[in-house]
Amino acid sequence: MNISRNIGGTALLAAMLLLAACSGTPEAVQEPQQTQETQETQQSQTPETEQPRETASSTPSEQPQDQEGLPPTAQEAAATVMTALKESDMSQLAAWVHPEKGIRFSPYAYVDTENDIVVTKDEVAGLMNDSTKRVWRTFAGSGELIDMSFADYYKQFVYDADFIKDGEIAVNKVIGKGTTLNNLTEVYPRDSYDFVEYHIAGIDPAVEGMDWRSLRLVFEKIGEDHALVGIIHDQWTP
């Protein structure tokens, strides 16, 4: 009787242990699956920083070309000289003046090789501060002497209008034509010189073009380079 009870108790205990073991098995099996899912989620959320990105590259033809060192054209040289004149930058102007011939100032279209004043390259930088009066020829019409300092001459016979803003530009071509004889190409022949003209057709409409004016910059051609040798002012004359 006691044996039967012991056997029955033992069987019941074994059954309970088996049931407990069976019920705990799925949890043990699921743990690796949860770990794998967590790793996959972390991998999907990680930025792809390790993958190299393609970068756009420019070919040499797309890059700006370096123009430094190339001799300026006559028009490019004239643009720099005109800026110096507008700003009264005589040091910059001097940098363009011919080292041996200097620069000749002509108040009108006719270039007077005997009476037009020639200023050396070394003198140009100090012209604005030089109060010395010079005779720059005679006024058209009245015949009176143009007796004034360079600063006064500059205001009346050099940059007497905004040529950069309002001027029409031509290379080796005369635009402004008046009653004064123009001998530019005789004094400065085309095979050795270039000139650039800045021309303003008129300023005050009321005078119907009788206030036109031009400024011609003359450059000697030195190889492919240019040196300033003349500034010719021109305007309507009676």
pLDDT tens per residue across span 6-16 = 444 444 555 45
pLDDT tens per residue across span 198-237 = 999 999 999 999 999 999 999 999 999 999 999 999 999 9
Q: How high is the pLDDT of residue 16? A: 54
Decide if 21 is inside a domain.
no
Query: Residue 70: pLDDT band by 50, 70, 90 thresholds?
Result: confident
Decide if 104 is inside a domain.
yes
Decide if 25 is inside a domain.
no
Decide if 66 is inside a domain.
no
Q: Which domain holds residue 222?
A: 74-235
Nearest-angstrom CA–CA distance, 193 and 189: 6
pLDDT tens per residue across span 148-178 = 999 999 999 999 999 999 999 999 999 999 9
Q: By the 8 A CB rule, do 148 and 137 touch? A: no
pLDDT at 1 over 80: no
Considering its fold, how many domains does the chain have in total? 1
| Residue bearing the bigger pLDDT, 235 or 56 | 235
- The answer to whether the predicted template modeling score (pTM) of the entire model surpasses 0.75 is no
DSSP lists the bridge partners of residue 214 as: 199, 234
Decide if 105 is inside a domain.
yes
Decide if 188 is inside a domain.
yes
Strand residues in the chain grouped as ranges (E): 103-106, 117-119, 134-138, 145-148, 168-171, 193-200, 213-222, 225-235
Decide if 40 is inside a domain.
no
| Residue bearing the bigger pLDDT, 101 or 54 | 101
pLDDT at 92 over 90: yes
What CATH number corresponds to the domain at position 88?
3.10.450
Backbone angles phi, psi at 94, to 5 degrees: -60, -30
Q: Six-digit token pair at 128?
A: 């604005």
Decide if 54 is inside a domain.
no
C-alpha to C-alpha distances, 208 to 89, 108, 169, 222, nearest whole angstrom: 33, 20, 21, 41
DSSP character for 102? B
